[in-house]
Amino acid sequence: MSMIGILGGMGPLATVDFMDKIVRLTGASRDQEHLPLLVANLPHIEDRSSAIIDGGADPLPALLDGIDLLNRNRVGLIAIPCNSAHHWYAPIRAHSKAPVLHIAQTCVAAVPHTARRVALLATGGALVSGFYQQALAERDIEAVTPNEAMQPRVAACIREVKAGYLDLAAAHLEEVLAMFAHDGVSTALMACTEIPLAAQRIASPPLTLIDSSLELARAVVTYACERGWNRPR
Amino acid sequence: MSMIGILGGMGPLATVDFMDKIVRLTGASRDQEHLPLLVANLPHIEDRSSAIIDGGADPLPALLDGIDLLNRNRVGLIAIPCNSAHHWYAPIRAHSKAPVLHIAQTCVAAVPHTARRVALLATGGALVSGFYQQALAERDIEAVTPNEAMQPRVAACIREVKAGYLDLAAAHLEEVLAMFAHDGVSTALMACTEIPLAAQRIASPPLTLIDSSLELARAVVTYACERGWNRPR
């Protein structure tokens, strides 16, 4: 039996939410039908967005330490419920013995075939990195990013979730969604794993929201259940 | 810097809830002020209650494997968010290099000084084991256990949470709480980590509820923050 390795803590509440999704998606009726997880919740990994945009401290060594920890404990698959960390996906994948799912690949695969333009809600770092825009372009979908007035609201939403202020985070997110709806965009990618925690507090979002954390959780559960990790022996 | 080790998966949703409590209690304003956790979510550990009551398969070897995994990765403290597993607390503690908190000790310490009788909501196994009754007796508090008609409702509540049916679980729990309130008991220990997930769905419980998972999380956060694990270097 293999375990699912989760490199988390970026941030911790998003990691808890991601685990919650895995547990609920597994469809188990008793403990022994659930999936084994090893979760390295390592919140001290340096800020990803700051490293990408401002030349802040490089998080890659700490990311690879986390990958090493999971591999030493023989996980069979690794998922990283932090979008911005996927700026370093290539070196992480090259370093890891266990396969590592790519959150943007699983998220973009969930965009409906009818959508030709989608809003991209992400950290400033992930937007500058560009891996979402590239994954969308491969499916001929246009990424619409927040304007200069709105991106600080997205950043504030993310920051408030990391500090545990979900209602404040939701208020920022509502402003952003209203702006996109006004511009005629009908689908948005929550391409930061903090954002779904804010979105849960919005009763009727004016756009179809695609949750990167949920899509990564679906991919993890499918991978592990296909291999029988939920029913050992 | 040390990590907090969590031996979980008993059950998985209770482990997620326990982590959620740790994250919210930490009072951090950004990722880097949160606590590092290593979570071994091992749902295949044999059923604890069945082993205690019916001579079912012994979970101790798998519990010790989980303890070994956490110690190999140099955690500085271990918490086990499963009350019934504490039937094996003595061998677990003797086996572990890292200190292991006792969930019943942290939970019973939270009972108000005025309470002389408290209801004990737990698995049949934990009730037979008796460690809660003993911890309460040491404080001269009487443990009131559900009668034969009500304990199956407690067991059903726990089972429904493990299967993800929280509303059904809450309906069972409401019946149990009403019975205790009718009998003049004013405080109940949720001495099983699944029960708080059902209790969250009850708007106005008729008793004061003490949450074993929350009290263990408080003890973990206090221990780790006192040692500066949230602010390394």
A28 touches chain B (CB under 8 A): yes
Count of CB atoms within 10 A of residue A93's CB? 15
CA atoms within 13 A on the CB side of B87: 22
Shortest CA gap A175–chain B (Å) = 22
The answer on B206 and B142 residing in a single domain is yes
Inside any domain, residue B231: no
A132 and A188 housed in the same domain: yes
* Mean per-residue pLDDT pooled into runs of 10, chain A (233 residues): 94 97 95 96 96 96 98 98 98 98 98 94 98 97 95 97 95 97 96 98 96 98 96 69
Does the annotation count B192 as an active-site position?
A: yes
Confirm whether B232 is domain-assigned.
no
Total structural domains within chain A: 2
Give the model confidence (pLDDT) of B169-204 as tens digits. 999 999 999 999 999 999 999 999 999 999 999 999
- Complex confidence, ipTM: 0.96
Confidence of residue B231 (pLDDT cuts 50, 70, 90): confident
Sole residue written with tokens 């919210």: B24
The overall average pLDDT reported for chain B is: 96
Minimal CA separation from B117 to chain A, in Å: 32
Query: Is there a domain that residue B233 lies in?
Result: no
Residues B89 and B44 in one domain: yes
B107 included as an active-site residue? no
Q: For residue B137, what is the enclosing H or E element?
A: helix B131-137
Q: Which residue of B has its CA nearest to A1?
A: B44
- Mutation target vs B (from A1, A31, A39; most B CBs, 10 A cutoff): A31
Answer yes or no: do A70 and A166 share one domain.
no
Q: Are residues A94 and A183 in the same domain?
A: no
Domain presence at residue A233 = no
Q: What is the pLDDT of residue A231?
A: 82
Convert the pLDDT of each residue in B21-70 to its tens digit. Answer: 999 999 899 999 999 999 999 999 999 999 999 999 999 999 999 999 99
Q: In which domain, by residue range, is A219 found? A: 3-102+215-226
B131 lies in some domain: yes
The answer to whether residues A138 and A154 belong to one domain is yes
Q: Are residues A12 and A86 in the same domain?
A: yes
Same domain, B95 and B115: no
CATH number of the domain enclosing A137? 3.40.50.1860
User: What pLDDT sits at residue B233?
Assistant: 58
B77 and B19 share one domain: yes
What does the pLDDT read at residue B1? 65
B160 and B206 together in one domain: yes
pLDDT digits (tens, 9 = 90+) for B121-165: 999 999 999 999 999 999 999 999 999 999 999 999 999 999 999
Separation of alpha carbons B126 and B190, rounded Å? 12
**A231 located within any domain:** no
Residue ranges of alpha helices (H) inside chain A are 12-26, 48-54, 60-72, 89-95, 103-108, 124-129, 131-137, 151-162, 166-182, 195-199, 212-226
Q: Do residues A197 and A111 both lie within one domain?
A: yes
Cα distance between residue B83 and residue B105, in whole Å: 11
Residues B94 and B30 in one domain: yes
Q: What is the pLDDT of residue A70?
A: 98
Per-residue pLDDT at A232? 66
Could you please report the per-residue DSSP string of A89-147? Answer: HHHHHHH-SS-B--HHHHHHTTS-TT-SEEEEE--HHHHHH-HHHHHHHTTT-EEE---
**Could you tell me which chain A residue has the CA closest to the CA of B24?**
A164
